[in-house]
A = this chain, B = another copy of it.
Amino acid sequence: MKHISINEERLLERLQELGRTGCEDGKRSRVALSDADKQGRDVVTQWMNDAGLDVRVDRIGNLFGLYGELSPEGPDPVFIGSHIDSVIDAGMYDGCYGVLSALEVVQTLKEAGCAPKRPLVVAAFTNEEGVRYAPDMMGSLVYAGGFGIDEALAVIGTDGSVLGEELERIGYAGPEEPGFLKPHAYVELHVEQGPVLDAEGIQIGAVENLQGISWQRVTIGGVANHAGTTPMRMRKDAGRAAAEVIRFVGDRADAPGSTSVATVGCIEFEPNAINVIPSRAVFTVDLRNPDDAKMYADEEALAGFLEELSRERGVTISTERLVRFEPVAFDQGIVAKIEAIAKEHGLSVRRMTSGAGHDAQMMARICPTAMIFVPSKDGISHNPAEFTPAPDLIAGARVLLDLIHQLADEE
């Protein structure tokens, strides 16, 4: 491989510029299909055009920058990308780093006169965050055929807006059918959004799988009674029962050998009065595991615990399934390449699991896929304090460059 290198300054400057785009009162909230999202899309489209890429938009608003000869008979393109929509009051790296690194890599190859065997596609998928429209990772899901385009366009947002109408309004309802190009492979470079690489001082994560996610809402029904006059033995305290569940799921995830993480993030008591025994506790249980059988075992164990608790405490317990995504295994061949390239660059590297959802999990349905992670300081994400030092950003993009070079030259 000819020695070529990304334009580090250009990448970092674009990250800063996209980071500033659409900010209001110093807050970065480029929520999908908002005016701020349009501004971000306009900037990225301009850069794709500047780089001489062939810009295409599909019906769900996914934005693609094509490089190389695309023909039905020719080889399938390698996709590289992520998303540029954000949560409310977001950081500047989540998603944007992947899209801009993809652009940087393709632009670098193009400027260096490299003509890889396979075309390259820089992808910015619509509505990865899912803040305004559910589900999240929608653009890649629709692209991978997992969600119908007409159904997606009809989705109603949290603000009552219709997704398709907002897409038209901001000018990103494109003509291409989602899935119009069949990827040979998909690679996504992303900040970890977790503390592992930062805590361990490792520069590159070769992401080999993505945790399955199980979300449930648990509702416990007890009896509201006076906190002073009701003897302990006569209580049906929904709050105490909830505390037992929080303890159970946490302790199970803590157990030696467990690969789960478990979180109770939301809770509400009724009537929520200082001197009234809670008649109702509603809370969420977020279970994740890279191994589906283990996640299933965790769910079963929870169900069993709830049944027993209901009997013991005389409370009613019901659960509602909110989300269940199976774990995703990435392509071992690509993961091995990432490891090897990182080592060639003298970078420390470890295989790891993605705890967060990414467009890569949807693209993995239709092509060999993997992800590269770089550290997130203190694991902070979805927050203006999200930060990855420039040397780590550059290291990640360099690994991506070599990886794409290799994948694009594959038969």
Interface residues of A (CB under 8 A from B): 192-196, 199, 211, 213, 215, 225-234, 237, 239-240, 242-244, 246-247, 250, 253-254, 258, 261-269, 272-278, 284, 286, 288, 322, 354-357, 379-382
Q: Which of chain B's residues have a CB closer than 8 A to the CB of A269?
A: 265-267
Q: Which of chain B's residues have a CB closer than 8 A to the CB of A196?
A: 229, 231, 234
The answer to whether A286 and B226 have CB atoms under 8 Å apart is no
Would you list 5 pairs from A and B whose C-beta atoms are within 8 A, ordered by A residue? A228-B356, A229-B354, A264-B278, A265-B278, A274-B286
**Nearest Cβ in chain B — how far from A234, in angstroms?**
5
The answer to whether A246 and B254 have CB atoms under 8 Å apart is no
The answer to whether B226 and A239 have CB atoms under 8 Å apart is no
The answer to whether B234 and A240 have CB atoms under 8 Å apart is no
The answer to whether B243 and A247 have CB atoms under 8 Å apart is yes
The answer to whether B225 and A274 have CB atoms under 8 Å apart is no
Extra pairs beyond A227-B261, A265-B277 (13, CB < 8 Å): A195-B234, A199-B234, A228-B354, A228-B355, A232-B250, A232-B261, A233-B254, A240-B250, A263-B275, A264-B278, A266-B274, A267-B267, A267-B268
The answer to whether A265 and B272 have CB atoms under 8 Å apart is yes
CA distance A269 to B263 in the complex (A): 12
Copies in the complex: 2
CA distance A265 to B226 in the complex (A): 10
Q: Which of B195, B199, B230, B274 contacts A261 (CB 8 A)?
A: B230
Q: Which of chain B's residues have a CB closer than 8 A to the CB of A229?
A: 192-196, 354-356, 379, 381
Most B-side CB within 10 Å, residue of A228, A278, A288, A379: A228
When C-beta atoms are compared, the residue in chain B nearest to A246 turns out to be: B243
The answer to whether A265 and B261 have CB atoms under 8 Å apart is no
Q: With A194-B228, A225-B195 as known contacts, state yes or no: A265 contacts B275, CB within 8 Å.
A: yes
- 7 closest Cβ pairs, A-B complex: A194-B229, A228-B355, A229-B355, A243-B246, A227-B263, A243-B243, A274-B284
CA distance A89 to B108 in the complex (A): 72
Q: Which of B192, B230, B246, B268 contacts A194 (CB 8 A)?
A: B230
When C-beta atoms are compared, the residue in chain B nearest to A255 turns out to be: B232
Q: Which of chain B's residues have a CB closer than 8 A to the CB of A225?
A: 194-195, 379-380
Q: Which of B266, B277, B284, B355 contacts A226 (CB 8 A)?
A: B355
The answer to whether B211 and A240 have CB atoms under 8 Å apart is no
**Nearest Cβ in chain B — how far from A151, in angstroms?**
24
The answer to whether B273 and A265 have CB atoms under 8 Å apart is yes
Q: Which of chain B's residues have a CB closer than 8 A to the CB of A237?
A: 250, 263
Q: With A247-B244, A266-B269, A269-B265 as known contacts, state yes or no: A227 contacts B288, CB within 8 Å.
A: yes
**Nearest Cβ in chain B — how far from A331, in angstroms?**
21
Most B-side CB within 10 Å, residue of A215, A229, A379: A229
**Nearest Cβ in chain B — how far from A392, in angstroms?**
16
Q: Which of B211, B232, B246, B276 contacts A228 (CB 8 A)?
A: B211
Most B-side CB within 10 Å, residue of A192, A215, A226, A230: A226
The answer to whether B265 and A274 have CB atoms under 8 Å apart is yes
Q: Which of chain B's residues have a CB closer than 8 A to the CB of A274?
A: 215, 265-266, 284, 286, 322
CA distance A302 to B253 in the complex (A): 26
The answer to whether A355 and B288 have CB atoms under 8 Å apart is no
Q: Which of chain B's residues have a CB closer than 8 A to the CB of A234?
A: 195-196, 199, 379
The answer to whether A239 and B264 have CB atoms under 8 Å apart is yes
CA distance A322 to B274 in the complex (A): 10
Q: Which of chain B's residues have a CB closer than 8 A to the CB of A286?
A: 227-228, 274-275
Q: With A234-B195, A246-B243, A250-B237 as known contacts, state yes or no: A226 contacts B379, CB within 8 Å.
A: yes
CA distance A275 to B288 in the complex (A): 11
When C-beta atoms are compared, the residue in chain B nearest to A234 turns out to be: B195
Q: Which of chain B's residues have a CB closer than 8 A to the CB of A266?
A: 269, 272-274
